[in-house]
Amino acid sequence: MKIWLKYLFAIILGTAAALFLPEPFLAVLSSFLPKAIAIITRIGTYLSLPLLFFGMAYAVYKLQYERRFFPVLLKTLLVIVASGLLLTLVGVATVLLFSPDRIPVIIESEKAFSLPGAMELLEAAFPPNLFSIFGGESPYLLSFIVLGLLLGFGFTFDRVLTRPAVQLFDSLSRIFFHLARLFVELLSIGMLFFAAGYTITIVSTPELALFSQLFLLLTVDTIIVLLGIYPLLLFLLTRERNPYRLLYGLTAPMLAAFLSGSDRFSYINLANHVKANLGIPRPVGAVTLPLFTLLGKAGTAMVSSVSFIVLLSSYSSLGIEFSEVVWIIFFSFGASFLAASAPQAGVLTVIAMMCTHYGKGIEEAYLILLPALPILMSFSALIDTVTAGLGTVVVAKGESGTKEVPLKDFI
């Protein structure tokens, strides 16, 4: 059975359990769901850093040996920047066009959200002790990516001397990739708990009705991007005859990203599917996917810009000036590059930064969005994951090409 079908059946079962279980059973389910979801999230991210690290080091060596690393790197960065700016423009244009209703100003109290600055991230990427990056609960992806790059280049100085190390990293990369495939299969059980928890959260949070038009607008934006803009760009840039076939190949990572609200959780899922379903060569995928996970936050930028404009309209009946629109576009686009440092609340931290820097009495306006955070994170993670998968296709098509995988062979 296809992985996405397993996920879908689990989601249906989890949703049905949350909606139709008798109250006593539902109370028992609700009591252990938070712990279960936390464990499943850890399982989903357990192999992501080893897979990223060993895969990237070997891929950099392989691509540099073939003199293709810098073309792949430049194309990846170009796709990341272009997709982020494009989706920010789409989000701003739709929210200004449809003008959703204002959200009632609710007084909330919560700790402030902030993102580390670019210099802080660079400082964290080069700790005094290199081995310290392997410790800690939530290490920055940048540290592993930088070390993977350095090792990959280091392997190229003498192919004879470095051959044992290269073979070791190649073997470990393949081993972790194989283990990741097993974890992806096992996560079908986890989707049941994610779906149940997601449904219970929605049903038990009546305040979500206040954000109905915001959610509707984000749904429209997501449909426009995934079913309109991205397929068109794929056809124009890669001459793919059926771009929707590629979207179908990413169904399982899309489901995992939406329910978890984390593109890092769906990383091992995405890595397996871009290779097995989209035919991406391993060296290309092992370089592009980490960079997209670190910097490719087009969905985060779009959701943040839309949400901020809705907040701004809720606080003021005055129209938004053109200069403010330009500021919103570039600030949300720029701040999204730092969102990977806050994987559990990237959207809200970007919006919090926007409120703080905008000032004018709305410094804490982002607190209004706290009840809506799980759904906002779902939209952003979904689009970020699809952007990473399809962006990798664009880069691969421009380099060594991709292998045509028949639909019947999709995992």
Question: CB neighbours of 57 closer than 8 A, spacing ≥ 6?
Answer: 147, 148, 149, 151, 152, 155, 169
Q: How many domains does the chain have?
A: 1
pLDDT of residue 45: 86
* CA 168 to chain CA centroid, nearest Å: 30
pLDDT of residue 110: 55
First-residue to last-residue Cα distance in the chain: 8
Residue 122 confidence (pLDDT) above 70: no
pLDDT of residue 106: 64
Q: Tell me which of 147-156, 198-207, 353-362, 381-390 is least confident.
A: 353-362
Summarize the confidence of residues 110-123 as an average pLDDT: 60
Residue 114 confidence (pLDDT) above 60: no
Residue 169 confidence (pLDDT) above 80: yes
Summarize the confidence of residues 55-63 as an average pLDDT: 94
Q: Tell me which of 85-89, 111-115, 279-283, 323-327 is least confident.
A: 111-115
Residue 113 confidence (pLDDT) above 80: no
> Residue 319 sits in a domain of what CATH number?
1.10.3860.10
pLDDT of residue 116: 60
Instruction: Name the H helices within 68-203.
Output: 69-98, 118-125, 141-154, 159-203
Residue 11 confidence (pLDDT) above 80: yes
pLDDT of residue 30: 82
| Selection from 354, 269, 284 nearest residue 312 by Cα | 354
Average pLDDT, the chain: 88
Summarize the confidence of residues 260-274 as an average pLDDT: 91
What's the token pair of residue 358? 């905008």
Altogether, the residues listed in the chain come to a count of 411
Summarize the confidence of residues 127-145 as an average pLDDT: 71
pLDDT of residue 353: 87
Domain that holds residue 121: 3-409
Residue 217 confidence (pLDDT) above 80: yes
Higher-scoring residue by pLDDT: 340, 381: 381
Q: Tell me which of 134-148, 300-314, 393-407 is least confident.
A: 134-148
Q: Model confidence over 321-345: pLDDT tens digits?
A: 888 999 999 999 998 888 877 766 7
Q: Choose from 171-185, 198-212, 340-354, 359-373 the range with maximum mean pLDDT.
A: 171-185
Higher-scoring residue by pLDDT: 157, 388: 388
Question: CB neighbours of 273 closer than 8 A, spacing ≥ 6?
Answer: 3, 249, 250, 252, 253, 389, 411
Residue 107 confidence (pLDDT) above 60: no
pLDDT of residue 235: 93
Summarize the confidence of residues 385-410 as an average pLDDT: 88
Which pTM was predicted? 0.92
